Amino acid sequence: MDIARTPSNPDGNIEMADAAGEPHSPPEIRREDYRPFPWLVPETRLEFELGLESTRVRSKLTVARNAKADHSPTIRLNGDGIEATSVMVDGEPAQAFTMDGSDLILTLPGEAHEIAIETEIDPSANSQLMGLFASNGMLCTQCESEGFRRITFFPDRPDVLSVFTVRLSGAKAQFPILMCNGNRVDEGEDGDDHWAEWHDPWPKPSYLFALVAGDLLARTDSFTTMNGREVELNVWVREGDLDRTEHAMESLKRSMKWDEETFGREYDLDLFNIVAVSDFNMGAMENKGLNVFNTKYVLADPETATDGDFDAVEGVIGHEYFHNWSGNRITCRDWFQLSLKEGFTVLRDQLFSQDMHSEPVKRIEDVRVLRGVQFPEDSGPLAHPIRPDSYREISNFYTSTVYNKGAEVIRMMRTMAGEEAFRKGTDTYFDRHDGEAATCEDFITSIEDGAGLDLKQFRLWYSQAGTPKVTADLSHDNGEAVLRLGQQVPSTPGQPNKKPMPIPLKIALFDRETGKNSGEQLLILDSDTAEHRFAGFDKKPVLSINRGFSAPVTIQRDIDRDELLFLAAKDDDPFARYEAMQDLITGHLVASASGDLGDDERVSARADIATALSAVIADGSLEDLMRGELLLMPSQSYIGEQLELADPGRIHAERESLKAAIGTSLHDELVQLHSRVSDVPFSMDAQAKGARKVKTVALTYLAAASPELAETMAAAQYDAADNMTDRQGALMVLTGLEGVERTNKLLDFYNRYEGNALVIDKWFALQASSLHPNVVEHVKALADHPDFTLRNPNRVRSLYMAFAANPHGFHIETGEGYRMIGDLILELDPINSQTAARFVPPLGRWRRIEAGRAAMMRDQLDRIAAFDKLSRDTYEQVSRSIG
Ligand code: ARG
Ligand code: ZN
């Protein structure tokens, strides 16, 4: 951890105010302190002499005064854990340079200079996986956000754009493939070594730099753009993985076409490379012309990847490709603007997936992620606006709030403008800011001007954290339906008082007899309370609200179970139908978990839920993909979110017992459903995917009610499986049961896929997320398994993220689950702090958990905080969580 960094700041870079004043507290960076960089870096030349243990980097920067910034006699070149072996200015050894923490400060007297620096780094020792690192004998980079400074000294900030020319050289045998951003312009041999020179014509910030060197093979294809440019496409993988790259390549071509048709965006180089890497902190990275991917989001075939994996590959390929415009051609002025590229690009990838598949099903999946991850974040100690005001470690702000809520905020603009006007807004944005490092404010203004919206008050969505609570109350008065709406934005850390925000709510009013509604309307709730009157109702209609999830809010509506049952069966908006189903179940579980439910009420509520689910099973007009969504229980974390203080043990017990009750009362229907869909032959079309989805959902209810029958059915499903979706679904059910088939099939699965890292990750994750009573012991044993390692983030996540997300294991009464995550954080922090810090939020939820468990969670945070060598990442997350 870089605790020695001093707040002095000669360049007027973002000011480092050590606000907390604690001795080992890393400085806080504030958005309002942004200053333009005093220097431009029009050109950068890099030379890499590549070696796994030792790589020499020579950089040459041409720098010139930035007329649009305040004058400075010095230039700050960021560094992190590197040393310069030589520093030259205009061809002479630099006389005046000093170190400020790990940054190098040079005094530059003139208007323009050339700076040449040499560094030497050891990629094999880079376990943080930021900067240049080794993975399976190859070399690759990850520079976003601040990894480039681990390679060489540079103004490592997104508003400094430079044209990069890079020469790579290394041993032919070890690194037969040498790649960088842009186009290869020259190459040659030199004994056992070879070299390649790459040039990227597009000015870019250092975080978009990438290089890859290794023994790789490509699936090659091409795409002709709308203006007839022929683009060579490659997906690079290790030998043996090539036959799992077809889906990635097809997804890439579909993304390129879609972005032309939907946003008018054309690709701008002759070459587009994707490289799959097995050691990677995140999903993927949009480096210009050279996207680097976690293997998890590239490799897929039906034998080893589930339908969900296929969709994720397509979504992430799209996401990174779309960044070429929303991120690369227009980048971010500073990291506070991260949602400018991430929120917008998530929206773009969501719309892409919606267009490729079922729109409502994709919408439901996206809302489930938002509610399962972002809502808890927004109501906890780490809540922050989509455009944060301060940070200590920017890696901690690659959050569901910045990404997913960021996407929802832009989606609301689209809803208010309409698709066509929204497109005019995005055209304006791309036209106006191409080639720039822009701000969220630039984006909002472009949408206002292009789409003709007034977003004055709407800007609050960028500055206020917290999920708004909307109340909706419908009554009937003199032939009119009267809708009273209210909103309240909860206080969040540092933001005690909130202002009302514009909330676009799509609503419809249903006549119960006819089952018809009077047409969908869009209401904008922009004050604390509002009243809307609708004429022409001789009795009270049924309210359908926030249709399509038009706003990322929670709705408290005064609605009877009867009305929910009606909507669950009849609403013509598929999302609203799903929502009614979820509300029906959530309402019951919240009441039963808070203990205020009599036996009779429990019986009648369960009967209603079973009736609704039975209607969903029987509804011939539904596609199975949608049926699967309607049959899913709300997650435990979503139910916990509804309670001020959650008792995870109690919620878990109630939820499982409801599953068992449903499995009992719908036993025959579920068995029949399972048998019907088991006859659908494998294919990747929506119908077959739907069949696979309901197949496993049916099993989960049966497993809660009739474990022995479910064990037999799941084992049979496992044996009959000709694809990973069915196989993993069956094994998921079996891992929660205590029968002998659990052991048999786990062993079979391991032996079948031994050596296939992504599938072995599933094997770990299934056991860590299981409902088995001994899940804690299982996880402990798995941590000692020879295939387990803390050095591979996918493996760490497959065991411990799955466990931390498993309420039945993580929240075990003994506190053992909390201790295991506490131990993990301390052990992982020095190895990979970015990944370690991601395990803090589950413990940080302590304020919303019943007292006994809360104290034990808090103990773990205190124990971690007491450790004096924490990374900046973990320090920040732990101190905010204790707060
Ligand atoms: N820009 C990448 C993406 O969204 C993710 C980079 C994550 N960086 C980080 N420091 N966590 O596709
Ligand atoms: Zn992204």
* DSSP class per residue in 234-284: EEEE-TT-GGG-HHHHHHHHHHHHHHHHHH-----SSEEEEEEESS-SSSE
Which residue is closest in CA terms to ligand 1's atom 5?
A: 285
The residue whose CB lies within 8 Å of the most ligand 1 atoms, and thus the one to mutate among 130, 142, 144, is 144
Q: Does the C-beta of 873 come closer than 6 Å to ligand 1?
A: no
Q: Write b or e for each residue in 139-174: b if 16 or more Cβ atoms lie within 10 A of its Cβ, otherwise e.
A: bbbbbbbbbbbbbbbbbbbbbbbbbbbbbbbbeeeb
* DSSP class per residue in 467-506: PPEEEEEEEEETTEEEEEEEEEPPPBTTB-------EEEE
The string of pLDDT tens digits covering residues 824-872 is: 999 999 999 999 999 999 999 999 999 999 999 999 999 999 999 999 9
Instruction: State which ligand 1 atom lies nearest to the alpha carbon of 345.
Output: 4
Report the separation in Å between the CA atom of 814 and the middle of ligand 2, taken as the mean of its atom positions. Answer: 39
Instruction: Please report which ligand is nearest the Cα atom of 349.
Output: 2
Q: For 748-876, list the strands marked E by DSSP.
A: none
- Confidence category of residue 536, pLDDT binned at 50, 70, 90: very high
Residue 490 CB burial class (10 angstroms; 0-12, 13-18, ≥19): middle
Is the pLDDT score of 372 beyond 60?
yes
Separation in Å, CA 756 to CA 138, 490, 689, 724? 18, 46, 24, 13
DSSP 8-state symbol, 108: -
The pLDDT assigned to 25 comes to 85
Residues 6+ apart with CB under 8 A from 644: 848
Separation in Å, CA 846 to CA 647, 648, 649, 854, 883? 11, 11, 14, 5, 12
Q: Does the C-beta of 395 come closer than 6 Å to ligand 1?
A: yes
The residue whose CB lies within 8 Å of the most ligand 1 atoms, and thus the one to mutate among 140, 332, 398, 402, is 398
The string of pLDDT tens digits covering residues 750-793 is: 999 999 999 999 999 999 999 999 999 999 999 999 999 999 99
Is the pLDDT score of 653 beyond 90?
yes
The string of pLDDT tens digits covering residues 392-441 is: 999 999 999 999 999 999 999 999 999 999 999 999 999 999 999 999 99
Active site residue 320: yes
The string of pLDDT tens digits covering residues 158-204 is: 999 999 999 999 999 999 999 999 999 999 999 999 999 999 999 99
Q: Does the C-beta of 342 come closer than 6 Å to ligand 1?
A: yes
Report the separation in Å between the CA atom of 321 and the middle of ligand 2, taken as the mean of its atom positions. Answer: 9
Report the separation in Å between the CA atom of 217 and the middle of ligand 1, taken as the mean of its atom positions. Answer: 25
Q: Which two tokens stand for residue 875?
A: 């320090």
The string of pLDDT tens digits covering residues 276-313 is: 999 999 999 999 999 999 999 999 999 999 999 999 99
Report the separation in Å between the CA atom of 23 and the middle of ligand 1, taken as the mean of its atom positions. Answer: 30
Is the pLDDT score of 6 beyond 70?
no
Which residue bears the tokens 């059910």? 733
- Confidence category of residue 24, pLDDT binned at 50, 70, 90: low
Q: Which of 144, 197, 320, 741 is catalytic?
A: 320
Separation in Å, CA 270 to CA 232, 233, 626? 6, 9, 41
Report the separation in Å between the CA atom of 552 and the middle of ligand 2, taken as the mean of its atom positions. Answer: 20
- 685 alpha-carbon distance from chain centroid: 26
Q: Nearest-CA neighbor of 233 among 205, 270, 196?
A: 270
Report the separation in Å between the CA atom of 94 and the middle of ligand 1, taken as the mean of its atom positions. Answer: 35
Is the pLDDT score of 19 beyond 60?
no
pTM of the model: 0.97
Cα(584)–Cα(569) distance, rounded to whole angstroms?
Answer: 12
Q: Does the C-beta of 340 come closer than 6 Å to ligand 1?
A: no
Average pLDDT on 495-501 reads 98
Which residue is closest in CA terms to ligand 1's atom 11?
A: 395
Report the separation in Å between the CA atom of 284 and the middle of ligand 2, taken as the mean of its atom positions. Answer: 8
Cα(852)–Cα(814) distance, rounded to whole angstroms?
Answer: 10
- Confidence category of residue 595, pLDDT binned at 50, 70, 90: confident
Average pLDDT on 508-530 reads 97
- Which residues does residue 551 pair with via DSSP β-bridges, in sequence order? none
Average pLDDT on 40-57 reads 98
Cα(317)–Cα(285) distance, rounded to whole angstroms?
Answer: 10
The residue whose CB lies within 8 Å of the most ligand 1 atoms, and thus the one to mutate among 285, 324, 347, is 285
Q: Does the C-beta of 297 come closer than 6 Å to ligand 1?
A: no
Is the pLDDT score of 96 beyond 90?
no
Cα(65)–Cα(91) distance, rounded to whole angstroms?
Answer: 19
Which residue is closest in CA terms to ligand 1's atom 12?
A: 285
Q: Does the C-beta of 391 come closer than 6 Å to ligand 1?
A: no
The pLDDT assigned to 596 comes to 80
Report the separation in Å between the CA atom of 320 and the middle of ligand 2, taken as the mean of its atom positions. Answer: 6
Q: Does the C-beta of 145 come closer than 6 Å to ligand 1?
A: yes
Cα(262)–Cα(626) distance, rounded to whole angstroms?
Answer: 25
DSSP 3-state of 850? coil
Which residue is closest in CA terms to ligand 1's atom 9?
A: 395
Q: How many CA atoms lie within 13 A of 601 on its CB side?
A: 10
The pLDDT assigned to 9 comes to 38
Q: Nearest-CA neighbor of 565 among 641, 512, 627, 620?
A: 512
Is the pLDDT score of 2 beyond 50?
no
Which residues have their alpha-adjacent CB atom under 5 A from ion ligand 2?
A: 342, 345
The pLDDT assigned to 21 comes to 39
The string of pLDDT tens digits covering residues 671-705 is: 999 999 999 999 999 999 999 999 999 999 999 99
Q: Does the C-beta of 398 come closer than 6 Å to ligand 1?
A: yes
Is the pLDDT score of 17 beyond 80?
no
The pLDDT mean for the chain works out to 96
The string of pLDDT tens digits covering residues 441-463 is: 999 999 999 999 999 999 999 99
Q: Does the C-beta of 757 come closer than 6 Å to ligand 1?
A: no
